[in-house]
Amino acid sequence: MLADGVKDDVTVDGKLYGLPSAVEGYGLIYNKNLFKEANIDPASITSIDALVNACEKLSKLNGVVKPIAFAKETYFSFIHPFNWAFAVDPNYKTDIEKLDKGQITMKDIPSVVQWIKDMDRIKPYTNNALDSYDDQVAGFASGKYAMIHQGDWVQSVLDQDKPNFDYGIIPFPTGGNTKLAVGTATAWRVNKYATEEQQKAAIEFLDWLITSDKGQEYSADTLKFIPAYKGVKAPKAPLAAEVAQYVDKGEIIPWVYNNYFPNGIDVDGSNLIQKYYAGLIKNDDQFLSELTNIWVQDAGK
Amino acid sequence: MKKNSNTLTFWLFLIPSLFVFVNVVIIPFILGIIYSFTDWDGFSFFGSKFVAFSNYLKVFKDQNFLSAFLLTFKYAIIMVIISNIIGFSLALLVTRKMRTRNILRSIFFMPNLIGGLILGFIWQFIFTKLFVQLGTVLHASNIFFNWINDPNMAFWSIVIVSAWQMSGYVMIIYIAGLESINPDIIEASLIDGAGPVRRLFNIILPLTVPSFTISLFITLSNSFKQYDTNLSLTNGGPYGTTELLTMNIVQTAYKHNQYAIAQSKAVVFFVVIMIITLVQVYLTKKREVEM
């Protein structure tokens, strides 16, 4: 059974075109020890108020430089954080369609307006997205940052750094959101130009990998794939296990940018948000109108 | 008979490089010009339409392209001045009678042996880590801070790294020029009582103009084409303020997926570099002294 949220990535007009090989999820990866020390229950962070309160407490701890860190690369500074704004919007498909045509602006989409308001609240507690990805994860491992906005892919880096604390992942609570952003980047496909025999063998292999016990074990333990399906064995690594739990419970929202963001918005949007962090954007209105401009420009080309 | 076999050898030796040159320069160049007049999407050329000059019109309306152009001009001018002054001074230094001159030549030339991409990453570490440390240790955080995160200093950091790399290269050209000066002329000037300054401006500089022609050409065209250090050091950041022309073209093609427009930008870029370098070569050639 394919998990909700990843269906969009592999279907066109309701027809399935591939089997997602694995899913990845991102959100706020947090330092469990620091949370305990500051007496914060991670499950209680279901609103921006709660997150801001947590940041306030965390910033008073010894050794914590900033409670939240973003990385400066285009996807980490803009695409992933901004994805929340559309992912929590149940009408994101029609909203983006209208946006592309210039019928509405970002200011007309409540979840986007809410998102930038939420960003304003947490901005003082962030590193202003000035670190590179490596520095951001290293800063988390050394306890400099209590939370980083990243996905389960940092596991391999953390495995090398071997931090002396436990960590987990929580959703970014914009507008009271409690779901993790989960999506897939690659999918298995069968080549229709291969011989029939080869095609049959390929389908058999995929059946084995996804449905058989042995295949699932291999997929989870050797390939470390987080299953894109409900009720399939998940890998043991801490972040992957937590992401798999969210997938299993259906507590996930999509990576809207996979299919609905215009080309080039990663560069233009990242430039805009870096300006925002540098204090060169006066207010939310200016941010949203500049964002609308680059969005329409990139969509129109 | 002998002459014929010579021509044959000549062409036989030329074929491999000619083959490569035609395939990787001439053919793509012609194709590129054709693409720039169509709405090619980067995949199949079959099916794209002829759009005359509409791509070029879009190029000149693109604000980011124009600002990248201005920045590249600024960068090229600064680079030509700095790297040639440093390169020539180093050449003067290492052509004096010193014991360490061979070692010094290798040291100054060394940055050129490392690719610009690697240099960018090495210096990124210096600008982002070492500078911050220096700032705290020396209590001079107004000079030593993270240069890469400041729009103005990020630009200068590219200049510093590339000048460091380029100077060693033009130094070699200037050394060749300085060493080809007939020692008799220098001696004659000594006997006539010319001081070091006068000797530099009236004898050495006029006689090394051919080296200047080459060095200015190389630094000018290389600075316009700067990409690798720009990519690895600042990647156009912070917020797109250090995006040079080639990076803008690459972003247009591979990030915005507008291959035809990127191609038009590249053609405009080519024409501008060609005009500027031709003018430069013409002007400096005129000043060369034939002995």
pLDDT tens digits, chain B, 291 residues: what are they?
Answer: 566 778 888 889 999 999 999 999 999 999 999 999 988 887 777 777 888 888 899 899 888 899 999 999 999 999 999 999 999 999 999 988 888 888 999 999 998 888 888 999 999 999 988 998 999 888 888 888 888 888 899 999 999 999 999 999 999 999 999 998 888 888 888 888 888 888 888 888 888 988 999 999 999 989 999 999 999 998 887 888 899 999 999 998 888 888 999 999 999 999 999 999 899 989 888 887 766
Handedness of CA B104, B105, B107, B108 (dihedral sign): positive
Q: Dig out the tokens for A103 from the structure.
A: 């019928």
Distance CA B287, CA A231 (A): 81
Nearest CA in chain B to A301: B258
What is the C-alpha to C-alpha distance for residues A125 and A278, in angstroms, rounded to an integer? 14
| Residue B251 contacts A, CB cutoff 8 Å | yes
Q: Is residue A111 part of a domain?
A: yes
CB contact under 8 A, B258 and A271: no
Residue A244 reports pLDDT greater than 70: yes
Residue of A76, A290, A301 to mutate for B, most B C-beta atoms under 10 A: A301
pLDDT of B197 reads: 87
pLDDT at B139: 86
Q: Looking at residue B3, what is its pLDDT? A: 64
Q: Tell me the β-bridge partners of A187.
A: A20
Nearest to A263 among B239, B240, B257 (CB): B257
Q: Is residue A16 part of a domain?
A: no
What is the rounded distance in angstroms from the CA atom of residue A39 to the CA atom of residue A54? 9
Tell me whether B255 touches chain A (CB under 8 Å). yes
- Which pLDDT belongs to residue B53? 87
Q: Tally the domains of chain A.
A: 1
Q: Which residues of B touch A266 (CB under 8 A)?
A: 255
Give chain B's domain count.
1
**A136 pLDDT higher than 70:** yes
Alpha carbon distance B156, B162 (integer Å): 10
Q: Do A274 and B251 touch (CB under 8 A)?
A: no
Identify whether A196 is part of a domain.
Answer: no
Q: Which residue has the tokens 């002998």?
A: B2
Could you give the C-alpha distances from A281 to A109, A221, A277, A278, B12, in angstroms and in order?
Answer: 20, 47, 8, 8, 64
CATH code of residue A155: 3.40.190.10
Instruction: Identify the pLDDT of residue A46.
Output: 92
Q: Could A275 and B239 be called an inter-chain contact, meaning their C-beta atoms sit closer than 8 Å? A: yes
Q: Contact A130/B237, CB-based, under 8 Å? A: no
Q: What is the pLDDT of residues A85-127, one digit of tens each?
A: 999 998 888 999 999 988 999 999 999 999 999 999 999 999 9
Q: Give the three-class secondary structure for A253.
A: strand
Q: Please tell me the predicted confidence (pLDDT) of residue B201.
A: 87
Cβ–Cβ below 8 Å for B238 and A267:
no
A4 vs A69, which has greater pLDDT?
A: A69
Give the residue numbers spanning the domain of B147: 62-287
What is this model's ipTM?
0.78
Residues 6+ apart with CB under 8 A from B235: none
Which of B149, B248, B252, B259 is the best mutation test for A, with the most CBs of A within 10 A? B149
Judge whether A261 lies within some domain: yes
Task: Provide the 10 A C-beta neighbour count for residue B236.
Answer: 22
**SS3 at position A11:** strand
Residues of A with CB below 8 A from B39's CB? none
Is A135 a residue whose pLDDT tops 60?
yes
Q: Is residue B8 part of a domain?
A: no
What's the pLDDT at A273?
94
Question: What is the domain extent for residue A267?
Answer: 24-184+254-300
Q: Which residues of A touch B240 (CB under 8 A)?
A: 267, 271
Using the predicted structure, report yes or no on whether residue A19 has a pLDDT greater than 90.
no
> What pLDDT is recorded for position A270?
92
B146 touches A: beta carbon within 8 Å? yes
User: Tell me, what CATH number does B105's domain have?
Assistant: 1.10.3720.10
B48 interface with A at CB cutoff 8 Å: no
- Give residue A5's pLDDT: 66
Looking at the DSSP bridge assignments, the partners of residue A180 are: A252
Is A189's pLDDT higher than 60?
yes
| Mean residue pLDDT across chain A | 89
User: Smallest CA–CA separation between B213 and chain A, in Å?
Assistant: 39
B257·A130 Cβ contact <8 A: no
Is residue B145 in some structural domain?
yes
